[in-house]
Amino acid sequence: MKTRLTIAIILALMLGGCMVGPKYVKPDTPMTPAFKEGLPDSFKETKDWKFAQPGAPSLPANWWEAFHDPQLTALEKEAIAGNQNLKIAEARFRQARALIRFNRASEFPTISTTPSVASLRDSPNQPYFRTPAAPTGQFVLPFDFSYEIDLWGRVRRTVNAAREEAQAVSADLATAALSIQAELAFDYFELRAADAQKQLLDDTVKAYADALQLTRNRFEGGAAPKSDVAQAQTQLDTALAQQTDIGVQRAQFEHAIATLLGKPPAAFSLDAAPLRPGLPPIPVGLPSQLLERRPDIAASERRVQEANEQIGIARAAFFPTVTLGGSAGFEGSSILNWLNWPSRFWAVGPSLAQTLFDAGRRHAGSDAAIAGYDAAVASYRETTLTAFQQVEDNLAALRILENEERQQREAVASAQESLQIFINRYEGGVDNYLQVISAQTIALTNERNEIDIQRRRMDAGVLLIKAIGGGWTTSDMPSLPSLRKG
């Protein structure tokens, strides 16, 4: 009868248990109407300029394939398979999933056993009671049972916090992958821009060598002074130095790509190929969609909810802990009567533990949890602000660079026309060679600027793709139900 009453009381306590602490409400950000009136329906820098048509499909997961560069696609696949930072992020995700199972074990009873066999001899001279000096046996096979009744939600909140951390770490993995993919594409286009500069300087060196030969011929024919030859030689030597200097940049980007692939630089090389300018359409979407497309924002928001769980865990410490414990087994004096039915023993019952004085430790823990939550909210909002800044920065860069590239293309055409005019006038004896050198310098500078603007546009396109989250969405993050078993 007493046992049934005890069980009934325990079940009533379990059913009546509650979770202390605040319920989670997703915090507002500076881009949500509840935080600031008038959520904009488009990004500021897309005004009067659209990089992709409205309603365009979102970026695919393999967004780099839109550049139609087989070499880049092959490198991206290698990076996904071999990058060491990605392996670190993936291992941390597996660790986070394992911690769910670790914390979830507290939802179940703990059963243990400590069997022992001993021969005992009591002293016959012990006070008060005289005992025989003959040794006796002690054979014990106990099974201990312990279960914390989660009245205040401490265990449930701990498990929930582990699941939310696992979600955040999965988003961290996506962030790491996106960063590595974007860095690889960035370095690849930088390297190809260096190849384009090298090709331009190769052609320039050849043209300057022809110009030097022209001045020598005119000098030997008495039609030009020796200074023309010296000026042409200086121009050629300067171009050769610039040609050599490009090799430093190219080598550094090639080494960086090797590291991203998880290879030593000595084991990797790329054949030279000039940059092929041309950006694919990039569907930027609406500002309200960005919160669902950036894995770093999703990770930050998940850690806000995790911090909210920590407040509940800290508040549960103010309430008593109820534990159901028990032990049962067999105890005998010899191996013959060890497992006999009369040798059985058992004990079961609840226990309550309540801290009466801790010098403010629990209050400090609660205050720390609240401060941690406030910090997580601020970090979440700062992450969203940074994300919007990155999108706006690269939208502005693409819009401005598009106009600048068109202007620079016209400047290159004018410089080349001017150079040809001065060469013709020099050959006709109308102008001196200084005019040719000046025109050569202006033409080369403009041609190099054109390649540089093309490089910057490609880089800005990659950075914009990274800023809008690549092809990731929050639906790619493992759901809480899928993490229920860790």
Mean pLDDT taken over the chain: 88
CA distance 191 to 199: 12
CA distance 416 to 439: 8
Q: Residue 159's pLDDT is what? A: 94
- Residues 280-315: tens digit of each pLDDT: 888 887 777 888 899 999 999 999 999 999 999 999
Q: Residue 15's pLDDT is what? A: 45
DSSP string, 312-330: HHHHHTTS-EEEEEEEEEE
At CB < 8 A and 24+ separation, what contacts does 411-416 make? 411/446, 411/449, 411/450, 412/443, 412/446, 412/447, 412/450, 415/439, 415/442, 415/443, 415/445, 415/446, 415/447, 416/443
Please state which of the ranges 119-133, 249-263, 375-389 shows the lowest mean pLDDT.
Answer: 119-133
CA distance 281 to 52: 5
End-to-end CA distance of the chain: 40
Distances in Å between the Cα of 446 and the Cα atoms of 165, 200, 416 are: 52, 11, 9
Pick from 437, 442, 478: nearest CA to 208: 437
Q: Residue 343's pLDDT is what? A: 87
User: Which H or E run contains 202?
Assistant: helix 154-220
Q: Burial level of 253, CB count in 10 A (0-12/13-18/19+)?
A: buried
The residues near 364 (Cβ < 8 Å, ≥ 6 apart) are none
What tokens does 246 get? 């490009």
Mean pLDDT of 359-364: 94
DSSP string, 282-306: -----HHHHTTT-HHHHHHHHHHHH
- Residues 54-94: tens digit of each pLDDT: 455 678 889 999 999 999 999 999 999 999 999 999 999 99
Stated pTM of the model: 0.87
Q: How many CB atoms lie within 10 A of CB 368?
A: 13
pLDDT band at 128 (very low <50, low <70, confident <90, very high): low
**Angle 183-184-185 from CA coordinates, rounded to 5°:** 90
The residues near 144 (Cβ < 8 Å, ≥ 6 apart) are 111, 112, 113, 114, 325, 326, 327
Asked whether 246 and 201 are in contact (CB, 8 A), the reply is yes
What tokens does 117 get? 């066999």
CA distance 290 to 387: 8
Residue 436 has pLDDT above 60, yes or no: yes
CA distance 466 to 386: 13
Q: Residue 55's pLDDT is what? A: 54
Residue 6 has pLDDT above 50, yes or no: yes
- Find where tokens 């820098």 sit: 45
Asked whether 418 and 477 are in contact (CB, 8 A), the reply is no
CA distance 287 to 395: 13
Asked whether 317 and 70 are in contact (CB, 8 A), the reply is no
Structural domains of the chain, with CATH:
18-82+150-319+367-483 (1.20.1600.10)
pLDDT band at 16 (very low <50, low <70, confident <90, very high): very low
The residues near 282 (Cβ < 8 Å, ≥ 6 apart) are 51, 52, 59, 461, 464, 465, 468
Pick from 465, 323, 312, 327: nearest CA to 397: 465
- Residues 441-477: tens digit of each pLDDT: 999 999 999 999 999 999 999 999 999 999 899 999 9
Three-state DSSP string of 224-269:
CCHHHHHHHHHHHHHHHHHHHHHHHHHHHHHHHHHHHCCCCHHHCC
Backbone angles phi, psi at 145, to 5 degrees: -125, 130
Pick from 284, 283, 292: nearest CA to 472: 292
